[in-house]
A = this chain, B = another copy of it.
Amino acid sequence: MAKFVKAKNCSACPYRSYSLSKLKEKDVDLIQNSCLIVMFKRGENICKQGTEVTHALYLAKGSVKLYIEGKNKNLILKIINERKYIGLQSLFGGGIYNYTVTALEDVQVCMINANIILDLAKKNAEYLFELTKTLSDSTNFVYKKIFDINQKQLRGRLADVLLYFSEEIYKNSIFELKLNRRELAEFSAMSMENAVRILAEYRKDGIIELDGRKFTIKQPDILRKIGELG
C-alpha cells in the first residue's frame, strides 16, 4: 500500500478544495482530523470497481484515470485533475464503486471517512451545493461521452479526444500526454491498434505532430471538423 501522512493544516493547504470555503472552521477541523494524505505512484489503484465506499476521495495533486473494467477491455470515462473530488456519485449513491480509479502519475489523495463528509453535507447546504454542482458537471461530461461513443466513429472520437486534451486539460497546442497508447485508446473507446493507426493518419495529413507522448496540434480546425462530422 501507498505511503500516507496525517493532514496538518487543510485551511492553508495550497491544494484545498474550494468547497472548504463554505465550511466553518470547526468543520474543516473535523475533516482535517479524519483526513489521511495518501501518496500513490503511477499505476496504483486509488479505488477499485466492486469494493465498498468507505472514504471520500479528494485528489489534491496529480491526475488520475477513472475507468470501467471489462472482461477484455477497459473504458476510461474521465481524467480527473488536481483539486477535484473523485467519485462523489458513489459517496452519495450506491456505496459500491462501479469503476476503478488509477494514478496516471505520482499523486496525493486525501481520504476522509465517508460519514464525516456525508454528515457535514446533511447539515451544511452551501457546502453540499458546491459538491452537487461538481457532481452534476461530471454527470454531464459522461453524458457527452456516451453520445460520442454511440454516434461517432473512430476518427471523430479520436479527434474530439485530442482537442479535449489540447483545449481543456493542457490548454496548449503542444502537450506531453500522461496516457500511453493503450490508455488513449481506452479513453477514445477503440482498440489500441486503431488509435495508433489514426494518429499516424493525422500525422501524415499534417494535422498533428507526434514524438512519443509529445503531441502538437497543428490544425485544430480540421480536428474540429472531423469531430463534428463524426
Enumerate chain B residues within 8 angstroms of A126, measured Cβ to Cβ.
Answer: 122
Q: Is the interface on chain A under 10, 10 to 19, 20 to 34, or 35 or more residues?
A: 35 or more
Whether, in the assembled complex, A54 has its beta carbon less than 8 Å from a beta carbon of chain B, the answer is no
Whether, in the assembled complex, A145 has its beta carbon less than 8 Å from a beta carbon of chain B, the answer is yes
What copy number does this chain have within its complex? 2
Whether, in the assembled complex, A149 has its beta carbon less than 8 Å from a beta carbon of chain B, the answer is yes
B137 engages A139 (CB within 8 Å)? no
Whether, in the assembled complex, A14 has its beta carbon less than 8 Å from a beta carbon of chain B, the answer is no
A114-149 near B? 1/0 per residue, CB < 8 Å: 000000011111111101110111111011111101
A70 engages B129 (CB within 8 Å)? no
With A and B bound together, what is the CA distance between A122 and B128 in angstroms? Answer: 8
B131 engages A99 (CB within 8 Å)? no
**Min C-beta distance of A11 to chain B, whole Å:** 21
A88, A91, A128, A230 — most chain B CB neighbours (10 Å) = A128
With A and B bound together, what is the CA distance between A94 and B91 in angstroms? Answer: 22
Enumerate chain B residues within 8 angstroms of A125, measured Cβ to Cβ.
Answer: 121-125, 127-128
Whether, in the assembled complex, A90 has its beta carbon less than 8 Å from a beta carbon of chain B, the answer is yes
With A and B bound together, what is the CA distance between A72 and B152 in angstroms? Answer: 11
A66-84 near B? 1/0 per residue, CB < 8 Å: 0010111101010000000
Enumerate chain B residues within 8 angstroms of A165, measured Cβ to Cβ.
Answer: none
When A92-B132, A121-B129, A128-B129 are in contact, do A71 and B151 touch as well, CB less than 8 Å?
Answer: yes
Enumerate chain B residues within 8 angstroms of A139, measured Cβ to Cβ.
Answer: 89, 93, 135, 138-139, 142
When A143-B77, A146-B68 are in contact, do A93 and B189 touch as well, CB less than 8 Å?
Answer: no
Enumerate chain B residues within 8 angstroms of A113, measured Cβ to Cβ.
Answer: none
Enumerate chain B residues within 8 angstroms of A72, measured Cβ to Cβ.
Answer: 151
A160-195 near B? 1/0 per residue, CB < 8 Å: 000000000000000000000000000001000000
With A and B bound together, what is the CA distance between A54 and B155 in angstroms? Answer: 36
Whether, in the assembled complex, A98 has its beta carbon less than 8 Å from a beta carbon of chain B, the answer is yes
B147 engages A146 (CB within 8 Å)? no
A77 engages B136 (CB within 8 Å)? no
Enumerate chain B residues within 8 angstroms of A145, measured Cβ to Cβ.
Answer: 146
Closest CB pairs A-B (n = 5): A93-B136, A125-B125, A92-B136, A70-B151, A89-B139
